[in-house]
Amino acid sequence: MTPTLIACSHGTRSHEGRQAISTLLDQVRTLVPGVRVEEAFVDVQEPAIGEVVGRAVAEGPAVVVPVLLSTGYHTRVDIARAVAAHPGRAIAAPALGPHDLLALVLESRLADADLQGGDAIVLAAAGSSDPAAAIDVQAMADRLAQCVFAPITVGFAAGAHPRIDAAVESARAAGAERVIAASYVLAPGYFADVIGRAGADAVTAPLAPDLRIAALVVERFRAAAAQLGGAAALAK
C-alpha cells in the first residue's frame, strides 16, 4: 500500500507564508498524483503533527517529510515522537537540507538579486539551539560556494551565533562592496522579517514555492517509503 505523505512544516501566522507552503504542497501533489499528501505543523498552525500521523496510520503506512531546512528540535523531538508512537507504520524522512537542489534554488534567488563581483553573501538562516542545525547550515553554505563566486558566511536569526546583523557587518568590514543576505528560509514570516531588518544591502526572496523543492520533498518521501516497506516486512 502506498504510504501517505505527511508534509510537516513549522507553521506561521503570515498569510503569505501559509500561501507559499500551500503552493509548494500543490506542486508536490502534481509530482506524485497517486499519493495522498497531508499537511501538518509543529507550531503556530493546526493540525499538529501527532494528530495527523495518528489519523493517517489508521488507514495505512505514513511517511513524514519535514518541510524544514535543517535538523533541529522539531525533527529530533516533535516529529520523532509522532512517528515513534506508531512503530512499523510511520517513519520520518530527514530534513530537506543540506542538499544540492537547495543550493540551486539559492543560486537562482541570488541571480534575481543581481549578484556582482565585489559582493559578499551571508547565508541567513532561522537558527536553532540544536548544534546540528548550525552544522547543516554551514554544509549548505559549502554547497552554495560551488555555485557562486563570492565569499559566503553564515548568520542566524535566533538560537545560534553569529546573528545575521553581525555577519552582515563583518562582511562589510572585510571589504565587501555590497552584502547580500541569502534568505535560507522557506517562506515569508517571522524569520524572513528578521532577515529583512538585518542591514544587508539586498535580501533574496524565500525559497518556496519552487518546483525543485517540491522534487526534493518527493525524493525524501520515496527514500523513506522504501525504508518503511522493509521495516514493515520485518515486522510481519
Q: pLDDT below 70 — which residues of the chain?
A: 230-236
| pLDDT tens figures, 104-133 | 999 999 999 999 999 999 999 999 989 999
Res 61: pLDDT: 97
* Cell representation of residue 213: 523543492
In the chain, where the domains are located: 4-97+210-235, 100-203
What's the pLDDT tens digit per position in 30-42?
Answer: 999 999 999 999 9
Q: Which pTM value belongs to this model?
A: 0.94
CATH number (3.40.50.300, 3.40.50.1400, 3.40.50.11540, 3.30.70.660) of 4-97+210-235 reads: 3.40.50.1400
Question: What is the predicted pLDDT for the residue at 233?
Answer: 38
Alpha-helix residue ranges (DSSP H) falling in the chain: 15-31, 49-57, 73, 80-84, 100-112, 131-144, 164-173, 190-196, 211-235
pLDDT reported for residue 206: 98
Q: What class is the 100-203 domain?
A: alpha beta
User: Can you give the pLDDT at residue 231?
Assistant: 53
Domain 4-97+210-235 identical in fold to domain 100-203: yes
What pLDDT shows up at residue 34?
93
